[in-house]
Structure 1
Amino acid sequence: MKIHRQAVVYFLIFSVVGFSARAQGKLVRFAQKVLNDTSSAATSKLLVFPTAGFAPETSLELGVRAFSLFYAKRDTVVNRLSEIVLYSFVTLKGQFGVLLENAAYTNKNTYFFLGRARYQQFPLLYYGIGPNTPSVNPALVNSSYFQIRQRILRKVIRNWYAGAEADFQTIQRVSFEFDEQHPPGYRLPLGGEGSTTVGLGAAVVYDDRKNVLNVRKGHFLETGLLWYRPGFGSDFSYQSVVLDGRLYRPLGQPNRVLALQLAGTFMTGAIPFNNLGLLGGESLMRGYYLGRYRDKSVLAGQAELRWLPFGFSKRWGGTLFAGLGSVAPAVRDFQLNQVRWAAGGGVRFLFFQKKDVFLRADLGVTREGTGFYVSLGEAF
């Protein structure tokens, strides 16, 4: 379905004109109810609200984000908080996408479902592959992209989980747009004409977190191995190892938390450009465009000091964070002078008081610029 820019503009105009005083009153009462949520922690919560954003490759972006927060069997003592997030958007350039993410636990935390599904017709900025790609004149990659990645894990003993993992990705109708006055210094990458990859593997997870959206104390460790083979339906043959370790510690007071993360992606084989490990985004190395750096191996770490909330407020808090990371074609090729830094801070607002879930707004700063992010729940 093709979305025309004029149709989006007309929709916005008629929406604003037709927004009656009565509708405004309902919106105000709804906002007051949400901001002063005093429902029981065991109550399932569904929140739907509009979002807006801007980026050079999309112009104005309008979307709707829905969060579902719940405890299995409404048991807040034994069971952990689960979340399902659905986000959809359109832009004035006729692009659109849908993203579904899940981190859900069954009763007694016996099973843990962790994954995502997304479809997008959305331009990507492609800077090239490796740690020394130039920050100017990236290619604009237009495509139709679809991914399903899911882990189905079962508790083995105490907080240890093990299970199967699958990853399906396809990117089609790919086109690279370059600045004709500044042609790139690289050839079209592997997978530049489109690709389909299917990976199957296994994952082992240690997780003793109680609230995945706002961890005040606990540990998380994930090791995942995936094999992509033509026999599975994949166009390319390669393998990947993903490591993610996180530590959370209170610092003297319950509202003050130190969060640490070390994450790595290590791949070997023939890997299409859109499947390579990425550095940047709203979770790790905030401030860098997601995919500003990409390669077969990615290693990054970050630390964050959180006040949730501040000592002088019941609803408002803040964070300070910093991270280091780099990419390389292989583990042996990492070099100290190619490490990139990112730092910043953010504000927090206690959105769900009983569930201890904050709305976050972060500003990340790098040597190449800044990035601004708004979401529900912490970055990691």
Structure 2
Amino acid sequence: MHIPLIWFLLLLPILILGQKIDSLQDHMDIGIYPAIAYTPETDLSFGIFALIVLKNKSNNNSYTPDLISPKMVYTLNNQLNLGLDGTFFTEKNGRINAKIKFSNYPDYFFGIGNANDPKIKELYKRQFISTQGFVMKEITPKFYLGTLFDFDYSFLQDLIPNGLLNQENPPGIQGGHSIGVGIGLSFDDRDHILYPRKGKFIQVGTRWYGSMIGSDYEYQHFFLDYRQYQKIFSDQRILAFQLSAQFNQGNIPFYKLSKIGGKDNLRGINNANLYIAQNSFYGQIECRQHLFWRLGGVLFAGIGDVFDNLKALEMGNLKLNYGIGGRFQALKEQSLNIRLDLGFTQNGQSALYFSVKEAF
């Protein structure tokens, strides 16, 4: 019975996108951009991504436009990454968010814990298809309640015999289905969804993964996400703050463990898989400044860590990061940025990230 549900979750954003475009052809902003990059693991990679903003027909200045962002990346090592992110707002105060991804890409395993050595690692390939998101309904002004969903099917390849993965043999090394559903509650009084200048966004939720819904792994996931935005003496200067925590319990695939680092948090850590464990927390702050024309800049800093239990959490080992970034307003009529961020950590790591939308 879980197969139709899986396909429904995978196709839901695409079905909504088709209906939206049919009815809002005169209310769209579209931008299409090429992308090119190089890493030793992928060789030369190139691709394309698009930004599609569907404006509210009754109010073109609505702070809640729909956003669809498809992307495709291909490398000279025959690796492929496809993605579609969608955020939709219904006429009856509903919210739908979904991220669909197919990936056949190399990845690193450094071990599990918060003290891994970046030089000790194993390169392997994880092929997966996934979708994650929520469907929520406004229950009182600014408060939303709804269903959370998460589907992931993974297949691991190119594991090294007697390598780090086989030595540690963590849950998830055999791949398989990870399927979870749950409940979420959010509060949102931001003045704009794509680029908030004031207000708060708070979301808490939990998902259950189990064999009853087709999952090969049984565990529970809980998260808290708090964000706040404030103008500083000008509409052109914004101070943004985020506090996030994730907690897991049960038989969790290692690639679904809590982590820090990546394009959206603690951006100085040079690989998002370097520190993984049952639980994580981080806080970050960012000052955003419009410069001129469609260009802007940011300064950011953050602190956080991963841990299996409180005994493994030591204040002296918290991961600090800081950095600088540039912004380009992708669509002339929409506050939606393409960003390039360069981050550093206190132990000498650095990372460069290119992405769409603000980190938080």
TM-fit CA distance, 1:100: 1.1
Q: 2: CA distance between counterparts of 1:118 and 1:233?
A: 19
- Establish whether residue 305 from structure 1 lines up as the match of residue 284 from structure 2: no
Structure 1 segments, 4+ long, off by >6 Å, are none
Which has the higher Rg, Structure 1 or Structure 2? 1
Aligned partner letter, 2:353: Y
Could you report, residue by residue, the CA deviation over 1:187-240 in whole angstroms, capped at 9, with x for unpaired residues? 222111212111110111111224332111111111110001111111111101
**Of the candidates 106, 114, 129, which is equivalent to residue 146 of structure 1?**
129
Aligned partner letter, 1:71: K
Q: Aligned pair in 2 of structure 1 residues 136, 258: CA closer, same or farther (>3 Å)? A: same
* 2:216 counterpart SS class: coil
TM-fit CA distance, 1:274: 1.0
Q: TM-score, normalised by structure 2?
A: 0.87
- Establish whether residue 192 from structure 1 lines up as the match of residue 173 from structure 2: yes
**Of the candidates 134, 151, 176, which is equivalent to residue 168 of structure 1?**
151
* 1:88 counterpart SS class: strand
Partner of 1:155: 138
Judge conservation of contact 1:155–1:161 (CA < 8 Å) in 2. Answer: yes
Partner of 1:278: 259
Q: 2: CA distance between counterparts of 1:234 and 1:184?
A: 22
Partner of 2:220: 239
Q: Structure 1: 5+ residue runs without aligned partners?
A: 1-41
- Report the count of equivalent residues: 333
TM-fit CA distance, 1:54: 1.7
Aligned partner letter, 1:73: K
* 2:159 counterpart SS class: strand
Q: 2: CA distance between counterparts of 1:258 and 1:139?
A: 39
- Establish whether residue 73 from structure 1 lines up as the match of residue 52 from structure 2: no
Judge conservation of contact 2:111–2:168 (CA < 8 Å) in 1. Answer: no
**Of the candidates 245, 256, 274, which is equivalent to residue 292 of structure 1?**
274
Could you report, residue by residue, the CA deviation over 1:119-170 in whole angstroms, capped at 9, with x for unpaired residues? 1111111111110111113111212111111200011111111101111111
Partner of 2:342: 363
Partner of 1:124: 107
Q: Aligned pair in 2 of structure 1 residues 173, 130: CA closer, same or farther (>3 Å)? A: closer
Judge conservation of contact 1:99–1:118 (CA < 8 Å) in 2. Answer: yes
Q: 2: CA distance between counterparts of 1:123 and 1:62?
A: 16
- Report % sequence identity: 28
TM-fit CA distance, 1:72: 2.7
Could you report, residue by residue, the CA deviation over 1:99-135 in whole angstroms, capped at 9, with x for unpaired residues? 1112221236x11112211111111111111101111
Q: Aligned pair in 2 of structure 1 residues 138, 203: CA closer, same or farther (>3 Å)? A: same
RMSD of equivalent CA atoms: 2.0
Partner of 1:266: 247
Partner of 1:48: 32
Could you report, residue by residue, the CA deviation over 1:358-379 in whole angstroms, capped at 9, with x for unpaired residues? 3221111123422112223211
TM-fit CA distance, 1:78: 4.6
Q: TM-score, normalised by structure 1?
A: 0.83
Q: 1: CA distance between counterparts of 2:245 and 2:217?
A: 22
* 2:57 counterpart SS class: helix
**Of the candidates 324, 328, 344, which is equivalent to residue 345 of structure 1?**
324
Q: Aligned pair in 2 of structure 1 residues 44, 341: CA closer, same or farther (>3 Å)? A: same
- Establish whether residue 318 from structure 1 lines up as the match of residue 284 from structure 2: no
Aligned partner letter, 1:335: E
Q: How does 1:212-227 map to 2 (within 5 A)?
A: 212-227=193-208
